[in-house]
């Protein structure tokens, strides 16, 4: 039995139903996205291949979070605003909506509508959950990170919707992509500053969790990521070499997801506590969603338009 088989045999029995559902839904959607993008993937070269898979990297986390709502409703029911009736219904409803959006984006079917609705839903999350927390705790860095994260994810949905419209110079398409570009750029720039202020947090989306002490060069990783976010975000904001900047930045965040967050996730899945497993998956997929949002922008900007 090779090392991978040994690791699988050790981890899988300890995985909870919600953990298995999140991984299973994510894998199924990734395969769907890979099939849908195969012809385009074969026809591209270099880092453009990664940009082609932007839909996949955006859809996979949505599917995983949808599965978390459906199979681990007790984890998400508590964040439903207290003033809303039927919290259990809304937890399941959002789960179904996330899975539906993931399938649409992965298969590239009905993306114009799924992207629009995804953007609206992300803004509702910001207004209904993040803003109240920020008003109560304005000095809490976490709420400021979330305040920019949800619009960035929503902006990616609008970029997808705009890109699905016919004709690059269409007025509606141009506005949707421009708004999404600015929202992603603002998040990237703010996160870049946060990496310099908190140089031991997990890189990419600087939430509260710090990198484990066994990861070498933690501060170097955060400083490099912070610089990449500031430079890439600035280029994207001012629409200067946008495709190149977004492709490079999204690829760097994706590399962090695979190497840093992958290691943290493996350790979390080896823990018997369901909450620890779910937390590891949430951090992994959350940062993958940010990488996907940036790469969706890269794919939406044609070479001839990028300056």
Express each pLDDT in 185-195 by its tens digit: 999 999 999 99
Reported pTM: 0.91
pLDDT band, very low/low/confident/very high, at 118 (cuts 50, 70, 90)? very high
Per-residue pLDDT tens over the stretch 256-265: 999 999 999 9
* Chain mean pLDDT for the chain: 90
Lowest-pLDDT range of 76-80, 249-253, 277-281: 76-80
Average pLDDT over residues 126-154: 93
Asked if 94 contacts 53 with a C-beta cutoff of 8 angstroms, the reply is no
CA 134-118-174 angle, 5° bins = 105
Torsion on CA atoms 302, 303, 304, 307, rounded to nearest 10:
100
Asked if 225 contacts 197 with a C-beta cutoff of 8 angstroms, the reply is no
Q: Flag whether pLDDT at 2 surpasses 80.
A: no
Q: What is the pLDDT of residue 165?
A: 81
Tokens found for residue 45: 């070269």
Closest CA to 146 of 289, 251, 26: 289
Tell me the C-alpha distance between 300 and 274, whole Å: 38
Q: What is the pLDDT of residue 12?
A: 42
Q: What is the pLDDT of residue 304?
A: 56
Average pLDDT over residues 217-237: 97
Helices 218-237 and 171-197, packing angle to 10 deg? 150
Q: What is the pLDDT of residue 84?
A: 87
pLDDT band, very low/low/confident/very high, at 6 (cuts 50, 70, 90)? very low
| Domains of the chain, residue spans | 16-300
């Amino acid at each position: 039995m090779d090392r991978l088989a040994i690791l699988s045999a050790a981890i899988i029995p300890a995985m909870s139903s919600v953990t298995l559902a999140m991984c299973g839904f994510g894998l199924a959607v990734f395969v769907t996205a890979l099939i849908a993008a195969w012809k385009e993937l074969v026809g591209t070269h270099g880092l453009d291949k990664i940009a082609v898979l932007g839909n996949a990297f955006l859809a996979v986390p949505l599917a995983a979070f949808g599965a978390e709502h459906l199979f681990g409703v007790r984890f998400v029911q508590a964040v439903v605003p207290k003033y809303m009736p039927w919290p259990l219904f809304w937890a399941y409803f959002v789960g179904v909506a996330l899975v539906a959006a993931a399938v649409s984006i992965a298969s590239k079917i009905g993306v114009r509508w799924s992207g629009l609705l995804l953007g609206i839903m992300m803004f509702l999350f910001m207004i209904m959950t993040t803003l109240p927390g920020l008003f109560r705790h304005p000095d809490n860095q976490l709420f400021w990170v979330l305040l920019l994260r949800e619009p960035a994810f929503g902006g990616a949905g609008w970029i997808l919707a705009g890109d699905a419209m016919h004709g690059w110079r269409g007025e509606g398409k141009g506005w949707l992509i421009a708004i999404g570009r600015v929202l992603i750029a603002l998040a990237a720039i703010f996160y870049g500053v946060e990496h310099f202020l908190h140089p031991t947090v997990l890189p990419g989306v600087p939430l509260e969790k710090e990198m484990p002490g066994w990861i070498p060069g933690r501060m170097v990783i955060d400083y490099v990521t912070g610089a990449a976010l500031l430079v890439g975000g600035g280029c994207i904001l001012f629409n200067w070499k946008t495709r190149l900047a977004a492709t490079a930045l999204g690829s760097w965040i994706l590399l962090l997801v695979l190497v840093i967050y992958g290691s943290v996730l493996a350790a979390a899945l080896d823990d018997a506590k369901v909450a620890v497993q779910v937390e590891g998956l949430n951090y992994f997929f959350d940062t993958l969603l940010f990488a996907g949002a940036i790469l969706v922008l890269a794919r939406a900007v044609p070479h001839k338009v990028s300056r």
